Amino acid sequence: MHPIVKLVVQRIALGLILLWAVSVVIFLGVEMLPGDTAQAILGQSATPVALANLREALGLNEPALTRYFNWLFAALQGDLGVALTNGQDIAKSIGSRFGNTLFLAGCAGVIAVPLAIGLGLIAARYNGRWPDKLISGVTLATISLPEFVAAYFVIFVLTQVFPIFQPVSMVFPGMSFWDKLQAVALPVIVLVMVVLAHMMRMTRAAILNVMQSAYIETAVLKGLTPMQVIWRHALPNAIAPIITVVVINLAYLVVGVVVVEVVFSYNALGQYLVDHVAKRDLPVVQAVGIIFAAVYIGLNILADVIGIVTNPRLRNPK
C-alpha cells in the first residue's frame, strides 16, 4: 500500500474512533448533569405519578447503557430520534439550523482567510519594522480576548457608540441574501477577530522560513522587488502549512461558534444545543455534539491529508 493511502486510512480510522469516544463522553456528561428531564418538561408543579409515567414513556427508566446503545444503533442507521422536550424530529430541527451555522461560518471565512494571508504577507515583507509590529500587536490583542468579551465589546461599539447594527442577529426563512448579511454582520466581525491572528502569524512564520532559502537570494539578485519575491517564490513554497492552519480554523468557525451564537441570539445549531443542554434533552445534545465532532474531525483529517500530499518525501517514497 502506498504510504499516502496508508496514512489517510489511518487518519480516517482514528477519526471514527474519536467520534465514538465523543459520543460516550457526551452521554456521560449529560447523565451527570443535575436535574431531571421529566421535571424539566412538566415543570415544578408535576405530580410524582405524572413524572413516573413520563419517565416510563420516554424510556428514562431503562439502564443508561441500554439507552446509549439504543441511540447509537439508531444513529448509525440515520435515525437521530425525536427531542424529549417537544417531540420534534431532531434531524429536521438540525437541518434548519445547521444551514444558518454554515452561513455564519462561511461569511466569516470568506473575510478572515484572505485578510489573514494578506496581513501575513505584509508582516513578512516588513519583518521587524512598524507595519509588522502593528499587525502583530493588533491581532494578538484581538485573539487574547475571550469570545464573549469581544462580542460584548463589538455590540457596545457598533450598536451604542456608533448605532450601525442591531445587537440581535436573527435569520428567518425567506430573508434576502443582503438582509442575512446585515443580520450576521456583528457575529461575523467577532469570529474574524477570533481566528485572524492564528492564520496571520502562521502565514508570516511560513514566509519568513522560506525566505532563508538560497533560491530566494537568487530571485533577489535577479532584480525582483521584495513583494514579487514573496508572491512568486516564497508563497507557493510555504502554502502547505498555511493551507493546513486555514482548514483547522475553518473547522473552528463551524463548531466553535456556540458562545457567539448565544450572545447574539442567533438561531443556529449552537443556540439549539445550549437550549437543550439546559433541559437535559440527551438525544438532541448527543446528535448536535456528534455533528460538531464529525465536522471538526473531518476538517482536521483534511488538513492532515493536505499536509501529507504536499510532502514530497511521502509522494515519492523511493
Cell numbers of 110, please?
470568506
Please give the model's pTM, rounded to 2 decimal places.
0.81
Cell match 450598536: residue?
A: 159
Query: Tell me, what DSSP letter sits at residue 316?
Result: S
pLDDT digits (tens, 9 = 90+) for 193-203: 888 888 998 88
Choose among 301, 125, 146: nearest CA to 203: 125
CB atoms within 10 A of CB 169: 24
pLDDT digits (tens, 9 = 90+) for 15-55: 889 888 988 888 887 777 776 677 767 767 777 888 788 77
pLDDT of residue 114: 93
Domain chopping of the chain, boundaries: 1-85+279-318, 96-278
Distance between terminal CA atoms of the chain? 13
pLDDT above 70: residue 312: no
Distances (CA, A) of 138 to 16, 36, 142, 150, 257: 39, 46, 6, 13, 22
Tell me, what amino acid is at 92?
K
Pick the CATH number of 96-278 from 1.10.3720.10, 3.40.50.10440, 2.60.120.10, 2.60.40.1180: 1.10.3720.10
pLDDT digits (tens, 9 = 90+) for 154-191: 889 888 888 888 888 878 777 888 888 888 889 999 99
Taking CA 27 as the corner, what is the angle to CA 22 and CA 28, rounded to the nearest 5 degrees? 100
pLDDT digits (tens, 9 = 90+) for 64-117: 788 888 888 888 887 777 887 777 888 888 887 888 888 899 999 999 999 999
Q: What percentage of the chain reaches a pLDDT higher than 70?
A: 94
Distances (CA, A) of 43 to 37, 46, 279, 283: 10, 6, 11, 20
